Chain A
Amino acid sequence: MPKSTVKLVSREGFEFIIDYKAACVSNTIRNMLSSQGSFTETELGEVKFPEIPTPILEKVCQYFYYKLRYQNSTTKNIPEFQVPPEIALELLMAANFLDA
């Protein structure tokens, strides 16, 4: 039974509590949370990412909310999502894993 919020845990143990809908922007998380089998994630509503560092996971959560907010917006001036170049490579790997 889908809860309204989901907890994402980074490599260092930081917990990010975000909306269920925001987390479902990522296909990987959506599959983990809505799977038919009994994953611990489904029951507790918590997903651990031991390979994703904290600043990267924070940026990922910002992207989830950005996408949720502007997905169906038809305005012309959608602000750009800034990706600082220093974290771009690790963010790329995280995005590849999360399928976002």
Chain B
Amino acid sequence: MDSKKRNRHEQKPVPTGEEPLQQVPSASKADDEQDRRADMAKLARRRAAHFAHFKGDDDADNAADNVHTGSNEARTLGPWSSAVELVNARQKAQAAREDKLQGRAVAAVNGEEDPAQPVPKIQWSPTRDVSQGPRPGPSAIPALFTLCLTVLNEYVDCIDSLVGVPDTIRIKLAAFVCSKRRMSKEVAQLFAQGAPAEVVLPDCHHLDAVSMTDLVQECVTYRLERLELGSCGRGFGDSQAQHLTKLGTLHAMSQLSLGGAYRLSDQGLEQALTVLSALSSLKLAQCSRLTGSVIERLPSLLPILRHLDLHDCRGIAPEALISALPGLSQLQDLRLDGMHQVEDDVMSAIARMYSLRALGISYTQVCHKLYMIPVTLFGVSDQKFDFTLFPTMDRHQIIPIPYVRTSYLFLHNDKVSDVGLSSVAAGCPGLQALYMDECLKITDAGLLALSSGCKYLTVLSARRCTKLSDEALASVVQRGTLQRLLVSGVHGCGVRTMQALALNCKECLEHLDVSFCRGVTEQALGLVADSCRLLSNLVVFGCSHVGNTFLHGHSNDRLSEVIGIGTILAN
């Protein structure tokens, strides 16, 4: 700014004797005005670049009318003017939005829309007397178990010992105490005393190294079957892992989970795993010091491993995964979420695992480069799955792989497109659960392929996939097997999908999430609630048009909790 001021002074005409004195101030004022405008315009241009980045969910044709970009005037006038304009136009824009949705909804009710594809009419009126008011709550009286848990939590410091308390109750008590933030070193010791078979502590961040050593020494016995320590990084390091070995081989131990053990290194883990050869489930979430060497030895250390969860272990080298994963012949459930080093070559290694049933690779590079790949191989063992065999193939395609037993797929990324989804649908006919939240490129074509390919889909989570439309969702629903449908934020979801649900998923639908779907009318929701008798959870955040007519007027007694009523879209 200082340099500009200097420039201004240099450019100012030097007043000579001939010019009348009044001209000088006006000339400088005009200059000031010009410069200030120029400055403001520059500032606005810089800030506008931040706001002008669309992710493509808004309709392209409405970009000109979009109040959030401001008009051309706003750019030159400056940030204050554009802010005022935004405030004034907000009301108008909201009214326009409502009209559009109401117009669509009204047309849906009247069946006026497209003569070629008549929108079904939803005729539903409240089946329960609305004036009766809300249903009596599930229980104003808490269960005796919960009452006792609350009292115990209050006096948890006074508990002498938990000897004699069965393991299931210990686990529930530990979970409750952790959730109320009353877990401490002394309390944690209580749960380890008495040689329990299961020690599950969801929150161990209070335990430092000394107390963690005490805890481990206390609970490692020949009876121990399951050890789960969440957030244990502060206390759990290599020396504590060494304490696990003090009794020799633990034949009964089958489940080990060390969440957040960021001080655990390869040597410590390897020492611990040498005595735990009977492990069937190993979960090492967020153990960032692990590199490849212990993973490479996993097939020999843990031959009968069935569940492996390495999510967020970002230090593991992909070569280790490639060499180790195919060797785990009994592995059924593999989670590699959040590991950015998982790429195409790791995927081809995974593709060689026959028995894999569930795979999670959310937030990984694979999702950005390769889209989802279903697991396992063609039935012939000497055929290697290698991308170099397909040099001309675009890497952004997925090869459908038969004999796939994938049951669960987690896709969270914005590069998966219809090609990938249709290949998956063709290759995994046994798919039961598909989580594809925020896959912004998926359109109707992918969903239609899904509905024709996967006949046993019970869970579909397509939140914020904004390009999906009513007809495609209805076609997936028409399979009649859906138990949970989560379409929060999919603006296209409307009356047709709801009607398909009411018709086809009468005996199976249990959970429905239609938050922020303003096209779903009260009548549609009422129809779904009355037809699907198993429906017990309904989530309707942001659906401010759903009111008492639906809440008190539906006659489904299992639907006791409707979450999200009363929240409105922010103005």
Binding site for B on A (CB under 8 A): 60, 63, 66-67, 70-74, 78, 81, 83, 85, 88-89, 91-93, 95-96, 98, 100
Q: Whose C-beta in chain B lies nearest to the C-beta of A25?
A: B144
A76 to chain B, nearest CB (A): 10
Q: Which of A66, A74, A85 has the most CB of B within 10 A?
A: A85
* Contact of B144 with A89 in the complex, beta carbons under 8 Å: no
Contact (A74, B147) CB under 8 Å given A67-B141, A93-B165: no
B52 within 8 A of A: no
A91–B148 CB distance below 8 A:
yes
Q: Which of B133-166 contact A (CB under 8 A)?
A: 136, 139-141, 143-145, 147-149, 151-152, 154-155, 158-159, 162, 165-166
Q: Sample 13 A-B pairs with CB under 8 A, ordered by A number.
A: A63-B144, A63-B147, A73-B140, A74-B136, A78-B141, A85-B154, A88-B148, A88-B152, A88-B155, A89-B165, A92-B169, A93-B169, A96-B168
Contacts of B169 on A, CB cut-off 8 Å? 92-93, 96
B140 to chain A, nearest CB (A): 6
| CA gap between A100 and B141 in the complex, in Å | 11
Residues of B bordering A, CB below 8 Å: 136, 139-141, 143-145, 147-149, 151-152, 154-155, 158-159, 162, 165-166, 168-169, 173
Contact of B136 among A72, A96, A100 (CB under 8 A): A72
Which of A70, A74, A96 is within 8 Å of B141, CB to CB?
Answer: A70
Q: How far is the CB of A52 from chain B (nearest CB, A)?
A: 13
Alpha-carbon distance between A84 and B141 when the two chains are bound, in angstroms = 18
Q: Given known contacts A83-B151, A88-B155, is B144 in contact with A95 (CB within 8 Å)?
A: yes
Q: Is the CB of B140 within 8 A of A92?
A: no
B166 cross-chain contacts in A, Cβ below 8 A: 93, 96
Q: Are B148 and A60 in contact (CB under 8 A)?
A: no
Q: For the complex, give the distance between the alpha carbons of A85 and B144 in Å.
A: 14
Q: A93-B165, A95-B145 are in contact. Are A85 and B158 (CB under 8 A)?
A: yes
Asked if B143 and A100 make an inter-chain contact with CB atoms under 8 angstroms apart, the answer reads yes
Given contacts A91-B144, A93-B166, A95-B145, contact A71 B139 (CB under 8 A): yes
B165 touches A100 (CB 8 A): no
In the assembled complex, which residues on chain B have CB atoms less than 8 Å from the CB atom of A88? 148, 151-152, 155
Q: Given A89-B165, A93-B166, A95-B148, 8 other A-B contacts at CB below 8 A? A: A66-B141, A83-B151, A85-B152, A85-B158, A91-B148, A95-B147, A96-B168, A96-B169
Please tell me if the beta carbons of B145 and A100 are within 8 angstroms of each other in the complex. yes
Beyond A71-B139, A89-B159, whether A96 also contacts B147 by CB under 8 A is no
What chain A residues lie within 8 Å of B168 (beta carbons)? 96
Q: For the complex, what is the distance from the CA of A67 to the CA of B165, rounded to whole Å?
A: 26
Q: How distant is the Cα of A8 from the Cα of B141 in the complex, in angstroms? A: 23
Q: Give the chain A neighbours of B136 by CB distance below 8 A.
A: 72, 74
Q: Whole-angstrom distance between the alpha carbons of A58 and B512 in the complex?
A: 43
Q: Could you tell me the dominant secondary structure of chain A's interface residues?
A: helix
| Minimum C-beta distance from A66 to chain B (A) | 7
CA–CA, A93 and B151, complex, Å = 13
Chain A residues, Cβ within 8 Å of B151: 83, 85, 88
Query: Roughly how many angstroms separate A73 CA and B149 CA in the complex, as a whole number?
Result: 24
Closest-by-CB residue of A relative to B149 is A92
Q: Is the CB of B155 within 8 A of A83?
A: no
CA distance A71 to B139 in the complex (A): 7
Chain B residue with minimal CB distance to A80? B147
Distance between B452 CB and nearest chain A CB, rounded to angstroms = 44
Please, how many angstroms separate the alpha-carbon atoms of A84 and B136 in the complex?
29
Partner of A92, one of B148, B154, B155, B158: B148
Query: Which among A67, A89, A95, A96 has the highest number of chain B CB atoms within 10 Å?
Result: A89
Q: Which 4 A-B pairs have the closest CB atoms?
A: A92-B148, A95-B144, A95-B145, A85-B155
Task: Report the minimal beta-carbon distance from B161 to chain A, rounded to whole angstroms.
Answer: 10
Known: A88-B155, A96-B169. A83 touches B141 (CB 8 A): no
Task: Name which residue of chain A comes closest to B133, CB basis.
Answer: A74
CA distance A83 to B151 in the complex (A): 7
Query: Is the beta-carbon distance between B155 and A96 smaller than 8 angstroms?
Result: no
Measured between C-beta atoms, what is the minimum distance from B156 to chain A in Å? 10
**Nearest-CB distance from A67 to chain B (Å)?**
5
Cβ contacts under 8 Å, A60 to chain B: 144
Whether the pair B159, A78 counts as a contact (CB closer than 8 A) is: no
CA distance A100 to B166 in the complex (A): 17
* Complex contacts, B144 vs chain A, CB 8 Å: 60, 63, 91, 95, 98, 100
**Cβ of A89: which chain B residues have Cβ within 8 Å of it?**
148, 152, 159, 162, 165
Question: Are the CB atoms of B158 and A83 closer together than 8 Å?
Answer: no
Nearest CB of chain B from residue A48's CB, rounded to whole Å = 20
The answer for the CA separation of A72 and B139 in the assembled complex, in Å, is 8
Q: Residue B145 contacts which of A67, A70, A71, A96 (CB distance < 8 angstroms)?
A: A96
Question: Whole-angstrom distance between the alpha carbons of A36 and B566 in the complex?
Answer: 46
Residue numbers in A under 8 Å from B139 (CB-CB): 71
How far, in angstroms, from A79 to B169 measured CA to CA in the complex? 27
A100 → B minimal CB distance (Å): 4
B141 nearest in chain A by CB position: A67
How distant is the Cα of A98 from the Cα of B159 in the complex, in angstroms?
A: 23
Interface-central residue, B143, B149, B151, by most chain A CB under 10 Å: B151
Residue among B145, B152, B169 with the most chain A CB within 10 A? Answer: B145
Q: Which residues of A contact B173 (CB under 8 A)?
A: 92
A79 to B162, CA, bound (A): 30
| A63 CA to B151 CA, complexed, in Å | 15
> What B residues does A100 contact at CB under 8 A?
143-145
Residues of B within 8 A of A72 (CB): 136
Q: By CB atoms of chain A within 10 A, which of B143, B147, B149, B168 has the most?
A: B147
Bound-complex Cα distance A95 to B143 (A): 9
- Nearest Cβ distance between residue B268 and chain A, in whole angstroms? 36
Give Cα A41–Cα B345 distance, bound, in whole angstroms: 64
B145 touches A92 (CB 8 A): yes
Closest to A98 in B: B144
Contacts of B143 in A (CB 8 A): 95, 100
- A residues in contact with B148, CB < 8 Å: 83, 88-89, 91-92, 95
